[in-house]
Amino acid sequence: MSGAEAFIDPDRAQFEAFKDLPRDTPIEMLNLVRFNDLADYPGDHTLARDGLTGAQAYARYGKQSGPVLARVGGSILWRGGFDTVLIGPADEAWDAMFIARYPDAGAFLAMVTDPEYQRAVVHRQAAVKTSRLIRCAPAQGGTAFG
């Protein structure tokens, strides 16, 4: 991802657009994450000089945020490993890909504002080189694309 813009946290406009959508329907969040080679903690963080990889920092984020995800009724619906891009930018590769399901958007908002989650998110911010977080409305599966 040479020269690509980093997307780590939502900007204000994106977060407001998310909050403006209905909050009382189930949602699924597609997560695509590329890690830093080395975690980039703030200089005053206790792990700043430990030399953790981005993957190690993201694992800490997962371990600490997982109980909050479960507490709000969320779960990981799907997780997969990246192979190659068939359609799209050839330099977009992802280290983590998963879909998180929430009972509703309110549950997602409760998670990201939870104090325990707020303590965990520093690991995500240190781990991530760039990411995509895409809100999806659940739909019925089937055997056809359309």
Candidates 10, 27, 30, 33; CA nearest to 72 is: 27
**pLDDT computed for residue 146 by the predictor:** 79
- Integer Cα distance of 141 and 104 in angstroms: 19
pLDDT attached to residue 138: 94
In this structure, the number of other CB atoms found within 10 A of the CB of residue 124 comes to: 21
Listed in sequence order, the residues at least 6 apart from 75 whose beta carbon sits closer than 8 Å to its beta carbon are 69, 100, 101
Pairing of the two strands 96-102 and 128-136: unpaired
Q: What pLDDT score was predicted for residue 1?
A: 47
Regions of the chain short of the pLDDT cut 70? 1-4
Q: What is the pLDDT of residue 4?
A: 62
Strand partners, 35: 128
